[in-house]
Amino acid sequence: MTLRDRAFWLRTPGHGEIRPVTVARHGPDQVLVRTLYSGVSRGTETLVFRGGVPASQHSAMRAPFQEGDFPGPVKYGYLNVGVVEEGPPALLGRTVFCLYPHQTRYAVPATAVTTVPDSVPARRAVLAGTVETAVNALWDAAPLVGDRVAVVGAGMVGSCVAALLARFPGVRVQLVDVDPGRAEVATALGVDFALPGDADGERDLVVHASATEAGLARSLELLAPEGTVVELSWYGDRRVSVPLGEHFHSRRLVVRGSQVGTVSPAQRGRRSFADRLALALELLADPAFDALISGECDFDDLPEVLPRLAGGDLPALCHVVRYGD
């Protein structure tokens, strides 16, 4: 079966367009998915939109079903939820999540989709990729019962990390951001909030996700002796200075990178990528995550909306894209 559908492409940095595409399902091991919602990640995806992926990272930054190459033309994205219209009987009519770009309908191997639990609304399920990043980060960070933790940067990733940490026994979590409006998000997630200058110090662990030099510096300042900063920020082509003077050596502080492209070594022998994503979808049964969806538009409006998201004119955590029939 061959269908005519549409996809969003980044034509050149800062300029997107909707293009016609031909979709065909090849063989019984593929599924044909009609998109219900996709999500725009304010961090990575807007960086791609402005052309900020360094040449050295073009290969590492490829999305699973990306077409084209950085800086453009490129079809990029990885938060897609749809319904299976054709495929194996066990998947027919099921709502699924896939790491697929913004496109009205697509065909992929059945192994590339993950069934969304009945307890998770399709709209909320677009957060699965971000919650998966947070799961991997906490596998890397390995917080302990009773830890004092700060999450610096209340964007999509930081807020997801804070939401998961709020479930840990005895862990005291403070979400830190320069935007006082994010206090409402923190309340919805069940964690404390502070502006950077008011944040509590002597933290056993700090998760940094603000993607700013000032945020990283403040993260180090908040640590207790021998504490660790888990760095989740993706800076793209920007150079960042790390303050390794002051207390860094005397307090024996640690800065550790974490990235979702590999399963954390702490779980690599026991958990697969599929296991990690399935866990993220299970965790999304909590309605508190709805606080992270703060914008919405129709698919046809995406070429006008993405420049506003990338430029900061349209503030949002996760911006959801709606698709009609």
CA distances, 251 to each of 148, 206, 224, 242, 258 (Å): 17, 15, 8, 15, 22
pLDDT at 2: 65
At residue 325, the pLDDT reads 59
Q: In the chain, what are the domains?
A: 2-127+284-322 (3.90.180.10), 130-257 (3.40.50.720)
Upstream peptide bond of 73 is cis (omega within 30 degrees of 0):
yes
Q: What is the mean pLDDT of each run of 10 residues along the chain (325 residues)?
A: 86 96 88 97 85 88 93 95 96 97 97 97 97 96 96 96 96 97 96 98 97 95 97 84 86 92 91 95 97 94 94 87 86
pLDDT in the model for residue 170: 95
Task: Report pLDDT for 243.
Answer: 85
Q: Name the one residue in this structure whose structure tokens are 């990528």.
A: 273
Residue 85's H or E segment, with its range, is strand 80-86
